[in-house]
Structure 1
Amino acid sequence: MLSPKAQADRANPAPVFAALGDRTRLSLLTKLSDGQTRSIASLSADTRLTRQAVTKHLRVLETAGLVASTRAGRESLFAFRPEPIGEVRAYLDAVSQQWDDALSRLRAFVER
């Protein structure tokens, strides 16, 4: 389930782009993109990152709606949510179409 802030931000792709704009967060998403849920301890293993740093990055990803967390006893488990990626991709496709249309109009104007 999305947090209220994540639900409000769905129409605004900026938080997703901001969350994806960090190498560490991209690495965490890559690890989670295989569909497995993982604990903070698992995600911080084999890295130089502390659990606290991983937690901070996961909270940014969760706020953007890119991951969801569930409690399992004393641990939080995190899972990748692909829907926001699809939404920003659709946004980028729409922006790309707008640019294609603008360039076509410019070409038609110049070639008259």
Structure 2
Amino acid sequence: MSENNQQRDVFDAIADPTRRQLIHLLAEAEERPLYELTAKFQMGRTAVSKHLTILKEAGLVHDRKVGRETRFKLNPKPLREVQDWVSFYSQFWSANMLRLEQLLQEEEE
């Protein structure tokens, strides 16, 4: 867990397609109320809230109360861990593809 004292692994949180869609929706706006997020899915408010709780436990979402509604905002910082992991394997595959290309060129000669 990172310095955010996260309760849930970021990779676990983004493993679900609904949660990835929620992240995408939150990335498109500075802040969104729960009712607006719920309208984007074919599931009830409680189910969407559970997904948002998982994202919140991973540090990916912040919420705040405005009157009777709850508004959610994306915190992209924990996604850095995912980016770093993907970047490592991107470099791995680039190096392997370069080696493969060199071997193929050697065979042609």
* Aligned pairs (5 A) from 1:33-112: 33-94=27-88
Tell me the C-alpha RMSD between the 2 structures.
2.9
| C-alpha separation in 2, matches of 1:91 and 1:48 | 32
Runs of 4+ in 1 over 4 A off after TM superposition: 94-97
TM-score (norm 2): 0.71
Tell me, which stretches of 5 or more residues in structure 1 are unaligned?
A: 104-112
Residues 1:66 and 1:26: Cα distance change in structure 2 (over 3 Å): same
Question: Are 2:5 and 1:8 equivalent residues in the alignment?
Answer: yes
CA distance in 1, matches of 2:73, 2:4: 17
Selected match of 1:21 from 8, 15, 40: 15
What is the CA-CA distance between 1:9 and the residue it aligns to? Answer: 3.6
* Identity, % of aligned positions: 34
Deviations 1:36-92 (A, max 9, x none): 211111001142110000100000000001111011111110011111111332244
Task: Determine if contact 1:6/1:63 at 8 Å carries over to the other structure.
Answer: no
- Aligned with 1:47: secondary structure? coil
Matches of 2:6 and 2:68 in 1, distance apart?
Answer: 29
Measure the CA separation in 2 of the matches of 1:70 and 1:50: 20
Q: What secondary structure is seen at the aligned counterpart in 2 of 1:33?
A: helix
